[in-house]
Chains A and B, each alone.
Chain A
Amino acid sequence: MKNILQIVLEGGLKSLIVIIGLLIGVAFATLLERKVMAAMQKRRGPNVVGIVGLLQPLADGLKLVLKETIIPIVADKIIYAIAPILTFTISIVLWSVMAVGVQSVFASINSGVLFILAISSIGVYGIILAGWASNSKYAFLGGLRSAAQMVSYEVALGLIILSIITYAGTINIQEIMENQNKIWFIVPLFPGFLLAFISALAETNRPPFDLPEAEAELVSGYNVEYSSTGFALFFLGEYANIILMSVLLAVFFLGGIVHNKILGAMKGVSMLCSFIWVRATLPRYRYDQLMYLGWKSLLPFALLIYVGVISMVLMIK
C-alpha cells in the first residue's frame, strides 16, 4: 500500500512539473509569436500589459476563461464537450516521452518515437469530433479539411522519421540524441530536414497550410461553435503541438538536448521562431494545391530519401 502511494505521489509530482512547464511554455509561445511577427512587420506588438507586454498571455487567458460558454442547441453535447478535452490531453500525453536531457525524462520507454507517432495520430479525433458534434456546416467542413490534411501529411512525416530511425539504428529518443554526438543529422539528411519541416507545418495546421482556420473561407474551421474554455483548450493543444513539433525537429536533426540545456532550449526556440517566420512571410495554399504537394511531391521525395538512407546504411556496414 505504501509502495503504491509512493508511486502515485512521485508520478503526480513529475507530471505536475511537466504540465505546468508546458502550460507556461505555451503561454509565452503565443507572446513570442506576436512579438516576432510584430518585429518582422515593423510594429511594436503587445506592450501594454506588464513590462514590455510580458503579462499579455495571462490577460488573454483570463479573458477567454471568463467568457460565456455557449453550447449549440442542436449539438451532440457529450462529444461536443469531449473533443477539446481530448485534443488538450493528447497534446500533454505526447510530452511524457520527450527527453529534456540524458537523464531528465518523464518516461524513458524503448519505442519512444513510435509512441509519439501513435499518440499524435489519435490527435485527429479531437478535430473530427469537434467538427461533427457542433452540427454546423462550417465546422463540419473545417473538421473534414483539417483531418484530411493531418492524415495525408502524417505519411510523409512518418517516412522521414523512419529514415531517421534507420540511420540512428534505434527507436529510443535519448539514444537518437546520443548518436548525434559527432555530427548532427541535419548534415547528412538535409533534404529530409526540409521535408520534415514542411510536413510539421502542415501537421500542426500552421500557415501556409492553415486551411482549417481560413477565416475568409470557412469562418474559423472546426472550432467555430466553441467559446470560452473549449476554445482555450483547442488553442492550448494547438500551441503545445507546435512546441512539440519544433522540439522534435531539434531532437531529430539538431542534436537535441544532451549536455548544455540552455543550448538545447535555444535549438527548440529557433525552430519555433522559424515556424513564426514562415507564418509572417508566406501566403496561404489553395486546398487542391495542398493535397497535390502532400501526395505527389512530398511522399515520393520522402520515399526516395528513405531508399537513399537504407543504401547509405548498408554501404557503411
Chain B
Amino acid sequence: MDSTLGLLVILLGIIMICTLVILRSVNPIYSILNLIVIYGCYAAILLTVEMEFLACIYILVNVGAIAVLFLFIVMMININIVEIQETMRKYNIYMIVGIIGVIGIIGILITNYNIRLKEEVIADFSMFLTTSESNQLTVVPTYLDYYTLFTETTDIRTMGSNVIYGSQSIWFIMACIILLIGMVGVIYITEDLIIEKRHLNERRRQDINSQVLREYKTTIRNYREIQ
C-alpha cells in the first residue's frame, strides 16, 4: 500500500468517526470539539498534497476564528439536554441511509484515489461528453493546470499570481459580494428592532424645560373641575 494512501485512509476514518460523534453526541460542546478534529484532518489532507499555505489558512480561519466563536457561544447558552435527546430520536432512520451512503463514498475514494492526470479524469467522464468537447478539454492552458503550478513554485505564489488574482479572480470577487450581501442582510433584518429601540429611548428622554415650568395650578386639578 502506498504510504500516502494509508495516511489518507486513516485521516478519512478519523473524519468519519468524528462525524458520527458530532451527529450523535448530546452535549453540543463535544460536537464542536469533534468538528475541530475534522478541520485538523482536512488540513492534514491538504498537507499530503504539499499545500502548506492552504492548510495553514484553513486552520487559522476555521479552527482559530470560527470554531472558537461557536464554542464561546455554546458554552454560555443554557442547554436542555433532555429536549435534544427527544429530537435526536426522530433522525434515527435517516442515519442508517446516511451511513450506507458515506460507506459507499469512502469505498469509492479508497479504491480510486491517486493524484491523477487531467487526461485520465477526462477519459473517465468522456461518456458524458461529445468527442469535440473532450478534445477541447484535453488541451488545457497551463495556467489552469493547478497541480503542476502548485508543485512548481510555492503554493502562495501560485495562488496569488495565477489563481486568486489571475484567471479565477471573478470567483474571488463574487465570493466577496456574497459576503457583503450576508452582512447587509443581517443589518437589514435587525434594523426594525434597532429603530424601535431608538424610538423607545426618544420617548423616555427627559424634557427639563417643561419639568421646571410645570406649576401646581396647571397640572393638579380637582376631579370635579375636569368633569
Contact = CB atoms under 8 A, between A and B. Distances in A.
A118 B59 contact: yes
Contact of B64 (A110, A118, A140, A171): A118
Given A115-B56, A122-B59, A122-B64, A110 B154 contact: yes
B172 interface: no
Contact of B75 (A111, A117, A119, A128): A128
Contacts of A171: 156
Nearest to A140: B75
Given A118-B56, A128-B75, A132-B29, A111 B64 contact: no
Interface string A122-141: 10110011001000000010
Interface string B49-63: 000110011011001
A121 interface: yes
Contacts of B52: 109-111, 114-115
B56 A114 contact: yes
B53 A111 contact: yes
A147 B71 CA distance: 11
A117 B60 contact: yes
Given A117-B60, A121-B60, A144-B75, A111 B36 contact: no
Contacts of B72: 128, 144, 147-148
A109 B51 CA distance: 11
A200 B68 CA distance: 20
B200 interface: no
Interface in B45-86: 52-53, 56-57, 59-60, 63-65, 68, 71-72, 75-76
Interface in B145-188: 154, 156
B65 to A, nearest CB: 7
B68 A124 contact: yes
Interface of A: 79, 109-111, 114-115, 117-119, 121-122, 124-125, 128-129, 132, 140, 144, 147-148, 151, 154, 171
25 contacts: A79-B33, A109-B52, A110-B52, A110-B53, A110-B154, A110-B156, A111-B53, A114-B56, A114-B57, A117-B56, A118-B57, A118-B59, A118-B60, A118-B64, A119-B59, A121-B59, A121-B63, A121-B64, A122-B63, A128-B75, A140-B75, A147-B72, A148-B72, A151-B65, A154-B64
Contacts of B68: 121, 124-125, 128, 147, 151
Nearest to B67: A125
Contacts of A148: 72
Most buried by A among B53, B57, B75: B75
A114 B75 contact: no
Contacts of B71: 125, 128
A114 B154 contact: no
Interface SS, A side: helix
Nearest to B60: A118
Contacts of B59: 118-119, 121-122
A80 to B, nearest CB: 13
B64 A132 contact: no
Contacts of A140: 75
Contacts of A121: 59-60, 63-65, 68
A122 B64 CA distance: 6
Contacts of A114: 52-53, 56-57, 60
Nearest to A82: B33
Contacts of B65: 121, 151
A311 B222 CA distance: 76
Contacts of A151: 65, 68
Contacts of B75: 128, 132, 140, 144
Nearest to B40: A122
Contacts of A154: 64
A264 B68 CA distance: 36
Interface string B13-40: 0000000000000000100010010000
Nearest to B58: A118
A114 B33 CA distance: 23
Contacts of B36: 125
A111 B156 contact: yes
A240 B75 CA distance: 28
Given A118-B64, A125-B36, A129-B33, 20 more contacts: A109-B52, A110-B154, A110-B156, A111-B52, A111-B56, A111-B154, A114-B52, A114-B53, A117-B60, A118-B60, A122-B63, A122-B64, A124-B68, A125-B68, A128-B71, A147-B68, A147-B72, A148-B72, A154-B64, A171-B156
